[in-house]
A and B are shown apart, each in its own frame.
Chain A
Amino acid sequence: MSAGEKVITNPVKANAGWKELPIGGIIPQGGTARGFFTGGWRSLTPVWDAEKCISCLQCWIFCPDMAIQVEGGKMVGIDLDYCKGCGICAAACPPRTAAIKMVNEGA
C-alpha cells in the first residue's frame, strides 16, 4: 500500500471553521496521526527479506515509527507510508540473520 491509499478517519474536518471544530483544541479520537504519512521523509529504504527473517521482532520493538508490520506474532512487512528510513530496524536485526538492508531509493 502506498501513501494516501489508506483511509484513516479523523473526526476533525480538515480546515473546519470555528463553529465546526471541537472546542478546547480537543482531538476527540485516538491515533489520528495514522492519517499523516511520514514516509516521504525517507532517503534510505529498508528492504526486508522474508526468506531470511526469523521473526525475532527486534526490528518491531525498536522501530520508533511503528512501521514494522506484525501479524500473529510474525513479521510480515514494513509500512512505507510511515517508515522514515532511520535504519534502526536493520541495525537491530541479528547480524547472522541480516534480513533488512537499507537501500538508497533514489539510486
Chain B
Amino acid sequence: MVAPLKQLSLRPDRLTSGHRACAGCGFPIALKMVLMSTEDPVVVANATGCAEVCTSIFPYTAWDVPWIHSAFENAAATISGVEAAYQSLKRQGKIASDKTIRFVAFGGDGGTYDIGFQSLSGAMERGHNMLYVCYDNGAYMNTGIQRSSATPYGASTSTSPAGKVRQGKVQYRKDLAAIMAAHNIPYVAQASIHNHRDLMNKAQKGLETDGPAFLNVLAPCRLGWGFDPKNILDICKLAVDSTFWTLFEVEDGKWKLSYKPRNKVQVTEFLKTQSRFKHLFKKGNEELLEQIQADIDAKWEELLERCGANA
C-alpha cells in the first residue's frame, strides 16, 4: 500500500511544473501519481503524444527522472532495451547488486491500443521487468483529436465527426486490459485519476511486480472531450459510477473488482458532461443512447462474472 498523502508530499516531484499540457489536463495527474507511488529510482520511456510533447520541449524537461522518447509506436520496445541493458550490466557487476531500478513506459491510447500495440504485446510476452502505463484519453489528442480504437462509441472526433447522417464513431472500444490479461502477465489493472489511492496502489504493485505489468488509466482530455477542466474529477467519478470505465485488477490471472458503484448511474449522466457526445442527445438519437447503455451493461455483467463478483 502506498504511503499516506502527507508522507508522499515529502518526496520530490518526479514530474515537475513548467510543462505545457493544457490547463486541467488529465495525463499529468496520471503520470505524477504513477511516479509518486514508488521511492525506488525509475527510468521512463514515453511514446509520442501529448504527454511527450508537452513535457520535453527543448531545453525544458519536466522530467526529474531519466527519460527517453524515441518514437510513437515503440515505448514498450524502447524501455525493454533499457531494462535489458540494466539486467546485463547488473549481471556483469557494472551496476551495484543492491541497486534496484524500476522501468516505466507511458503511452496515450493511440500509442498503446493502436500503433504501439505490437511493441507492447512483444514486451509483455518477453517478460521484461517493467510497467506499461496507458493514459487513456480516448483519442489521438496531440494531432487534433482523431479517433482511436479507444474512442467510445458515438464520440465525435475530428475523424469521426458527428454530421448529418453519421453520429460519431461507429465502433465500440477495444478491451485492451483484457487483451493484456490474456498475455498471462503477472499484473494488469485499470484505474482512474479521480481515485488517487487506488491508482497509486496499482501503480506501486505494477512497478514492484517481478515481471511485466500493465496499467490502463482514465485520463480525460478537456479539449477532446469538451468540458470545463474543473469538472475533471466529477467526470471520472461518473465514468466509474456508470461503469463506462471500470476499476479492477488481474493478479496472476485472477480478476478482482476494485470498485462497485453502490448505485450504478445511467451512462447518459456521464455522456452529457462532454461536448463530444452532445449530438447523441438530439432528437432521433434515443436509440443510440439505448445501444450504448446496453453495451455498457453487458460489459459490466461480463466483468462481474470474470471477477466472480456477481452476487
Contact = CB atoms under 8 A, between A and B. Distances in A.
B186 interface: no
A88 B233 CA distance: 8
B5 interface: yes
Contacts, number: 124
Interface string B2-28: 000111111001011111111111111
Nearest to A87: B230
A34 B16 contact: yes
A65 B33 contact: no
B61 interface: yes
B13 to A, nearest CB: 5
A38 B17 contact: yes
The size bracket of the interface on B is 35 or more
B17 A79 contact: yes
Instruction: Summarize A's interface: helix, strand, loop or mixed.
Output: loop
Contacts of B24: 64, 84, 86-88
Contact of B9 (A32, A57, A87, A88): A57
Contacts of A29: 61
B57 to A, nearest CB: 8
A33 B17 contact: yes
Nearest to B66: A30
A61 to B, nearest CB: 5
Instruction: Summarize B's interface: helix, strand, loop or mixed.
Output: loop
Contact of A36 (B60, B193, B231): B60
A79 B233 CA distance: 22
A42 B23 contact: yes
Contact of B229 (A14, A35, A66, A86): A86
Contact of B23 (A10, A31, A41, A57): A41
A32 B61 contact: yes
B270 to A, nearest CB: 17
A60 B59 contact: no
A67 B29 CA distance: 12
12 contacts: A12-B58, A25-B58, A29-B61, A30-B16, A31-B64, A33-B55, A58-B5, A73-B7, A82-B17, A82-B18, A91-B231, A91-B232
Interface of B: 5-10, 13, 15-29, 32-33, 55-66, 193, 196, 228-234
